[in-house]
Chain A
């Protein structure tokens, strides 16, 4: 009699969903993506009905894989729709399940990678790419994706239907792109992962666990990419470094009662050393070759913070140098705003204020709470109390989450 039912790995079902859908879609083709998703969903249901009585099998992933394979085989043998291709599909399915652990693992990753490239195809609009990647590779449910992007289920469902139709119509094939297409296709994938991470990281709508899952998923996928020969490129490592270094501070950004903490006030012992080390590893990989992207520069800035033992020892000169290059690549007001912070740490708050005045007319600064909050902070440091108060009040008006609002109101109080 078993005395222990075992312990499930976090997100096992979600990740296995992605693996299984990717592999089965390679075999069945994009035409049958809906069919494949049904098969995988049914497989998870089967585990749900079976495992409570027997405990977790020794190899849960293997169990799910065998079960999905058998279920698929069963259907194609009975279903006339697959008559023409049944024999071939059956051969592939049986081949895919052959016990060769190492090669099987490699091909699983390749399948998943091919799926990421297909879901992030440049022919699709970005919102659609993000939703499709989360659904088919990430194993998120429609409602979870809708919650993460503050929209409703119907919008996401519709986006997914359109995306699948588009993938079929454009005859997009499920394979890792050839070398000559790689830069363009990679850019499209990285754009999706960066967006996914930022959505999770900025958490506009207060505490929401799904959003943290977005960060985790973006990190999982960018690492999958970076550690595969096809994606082992400096720009991929740069994005991996950026995400890992940022994520290392996630748990230090809020107090236990949900108060926001700025870099200056964070307890640096709470930073996740494991993530920092992995981030720095990817940063060193990113430094190979001549390519210098915005991801490189942002990762460099994140690393400066990670490497400072205390706020007062932050290397603002290095950070400003990175921002100078970033402004050249992308002179957006948000980048200029961030640069102004670094500049103010070197030249003082008045320099920062001058920078902000120069961009205050640009979209979306008027409605951007961080613009007003930053201006308020500069004014406070410059002793311009009334201006600081006005700017904090503006910032409160545009704050997105309760945590942000509480933070700003706290700052207002300390002005007196």
Chain B
């Protein structure tokens, strides 16, 4: 078993009615519930909006460049899977893809 981090990037939920919003939420909850029932779920959290990318320009430490909206990480899930292929399959199932979002799948390197 290996541990993977699924990074949920971008995503756009604007323009939906309350009823549609609830259906979208139910979609996500169903997906994460499945992870939990299958014993794959190891954790996850939402990341606060804002934040900065700190870098060096002209020898000085500065804020920015700022991340493009579609690259902003909204949150992450930690899951346990037998291998990369299985982790990708789980990511492909994630509702985030239906709402202009992208999921980056990365394996945690064991010590």
> Which A residues form the contact surface with B (CB < 8 A)?
1-6, 8, 11-14, 16-17, 44-45, 47-56, 139-144, 213
Contact between A48 and B17, CB atoms less than 8 A apart: no
In chain B, residues 54-69, which have Cβ atoms closer than 8 Å to a Cβ of chain A?
Answer: none
Contact between A5 and B25, CB atoms less than 8 A apart: no
Considering only CB atoms, which chain B residue lies closest to A143 in the complex? B17
Contact between B19 and A141, CB atoms less than 8 A apart: yes
- Residues in A neighbouring B33, C-beta threshold 8 A: 4-5
Contact between A49 and B74, CB atoms less than 8 A apart: yes
Bound form: Cα–Cα A143–B17 in Å: 8
The residue among B14, B21, B44, B74 with the most chain A CB atoms within 10 A of its own CB is B21
Contact between B43 and A5, CB atoms less than 8 A apart: no
Contact between A55 and B29, CB atoms less than 8 A apart: yes
- Residues in A neighbouring B16, C-beta threshold 8 A: 141
Q: Contact partner of B18 among A13, A51, A52, CB < 8 A?
A: A13
Bound form: Cα–Cα A397–B46 in Å: 57
Question: Looking at chain A's contact residues, is the secondary structure mostly helix, strand, loop, or mixed?
Answer: helix
Tally chain B residues at the interface, Cβ within 8 Å.
27
- Residues in A neighbouring B21, C-beta threshold 8 A: 13, 44-45, 48
Given contacts A45-B14, A49-B46, contact A4 B36 (CB under 8 A): yes
Q: Contact partner of B29 among A3, A44, A56, A142, CB < 8 A?
A: A56
Bound form: Cα–Cα A12–B32 in Å: 20
Bound form: Cα–Cα A1–B32 in Å: 13
Bound form: Cα–Cα A4–B43 in Å: 13
The residue among B22, B28, B43, B75 with the most chain A CB atoms within 10 A of its own CB is B22
Considering only CB atoms, which chain A residue lies closest to B43 in the complex? A1
Bound form: Cα–Cα A309–B33 in Å: 45
- Residues in A neighbouring B26, C-beta threshold 8 A: 8
Contact between B13 and A48, CB atoms less than 8 A apart: yes
The minimal Cβ–Cβ distance linking B44 to chain A, given in whole angstroms, is 5
The minimal Cβ–Cβ distance linking A41 to chain B, given in whole angstroms, is 8
Contact between A53 and B17, CB atoms less than 8 A apart: no
The minimal Cβ–Cβ distance linking B80 to chain A, given in whole angstroms, is 12
Contact between A5 and B18, CB atoms less than 8 A apart: no
- Residues in B neighbouring A54, C-beta threshold 8 A: 45-46
The minimal Cβ–Cβ distance linking A83 to chain B, given in whole angstroms, is 25
In chain B, residues 30-46, which have Cβ atoms closer than 8 Å to a Cβ of chain A?
Answer: 31-33, 36, 41, 43-46
Given contacts A12-B22, A13-B22, A49-B74, contact A140 B13 (CB under 8 A): no
- Residues in A neighbouring B20, C-beta threshold 8 A: 141
The minimal Cβ–Cβ distance linking A4 to chain B, given in whole angstroms, is 7
> Can you list 13 A-B pairs, Cβ within 8 angstroms, ordered by A?
A3-B36, A8-B25, A12-B22, A13-B18, A13-B25, A49-B74, A51-B28, A52-B28, A52-B46, A53-B32, A139-B17, A139-B19, A140-B18
> Which B residues form the contact surface with A (CB < 8 A)?
11, 13-14, 16-22, 24-26, 28-29, 31-33, 36, 41, 43-46, 74-75, 77
Contact between B29 and A13, CB atoms less than 8 A apart: no
The minimal Cβ–Cβ distance linking A75 to chain B, given in whole angstroms, is 16
Q: Please name 17 further chain A to chain B contacts, defined as beta carbons within 8 Å, in addition to the given A6-B29, A139-B17, A140-B19, sorted by A numbering.
A: A4-B36, A8-B26, A11-B22, A13-B21, A16-B18, A45-B13, A45-B21, A48-B25, A51-B28, A52-B75, A53-B44, A53-B75, A56-B29, A141-B20, A142-B17, A143-B17, A144-B19
Bound form: Cα–Cα A55–B43 in Å: 12
Q: Contact partner of A5 among B22, B32, B74, CB < 8 A?
A: B32
Contact between B19 and A14, CB atoms less than 8 A apart: yes
Given contacts A52-B75, A53-B75, contact A139 B29 (CB under 8 A): no
Please provide the 5 A-B residue pairs with the shortest distance between their CB atoms, ordered closest to farther: A141-B17, A52-B28, A13-B18, A13-B22, A17-B18
Bound form: Cα–Cα A47–B29 in Å: 12
- Residues in A neighbouring B13, C-beta threshold 8 A: 45, 48-49
- Residues in B neighbouring A45, C-beta threshold 8 A: 13-14, 21
The minimal Cβ–Cβ distance linking A50 to chain B, given in whole angstroms, is 5
- Residues in A neighbouring B14, C-beta threshold 8 A: 45
Bound form: Cα–Cα A52–B98 in Å: 15
- Residues in A neighbouring B32, C-beta threshold 8 A: 5, 52-53, 55
The minimal Cβ–Cβ distance linking A53 to chain B, given in whole angstroms, is 4
Given contacts A51-B25, A52-B32, A55-B29, contact A14 B18 (CB under 8 A): yes
- Residues in A neighbouring B74, C-beta threshold 8 A: 49
Bound form: Cα–Cα A55–B41 in Å: 13
Bound form: Cα–Cα A213–B18 in Å: 13
- Residues in B neighbouring A139, C-beta threshold 8 A: 17-19
Contact between B25 and A47, CB atoms less than 8 A apart: yes
Considering only CB atoms, which chain B residue lies closest to A56 in the complex? B29
Considering only CB atoms, which chain B residue lies closest to A209 in the complex? B19
- Residues in A neighbouring B45, C-beta threshold 8 A: 53-54
- Residues in B neighbouring A141, C-beta threshold 8 A: 16-20
Considering only CB atoms, which chain B residue lies closest to A54 in the complex? B46
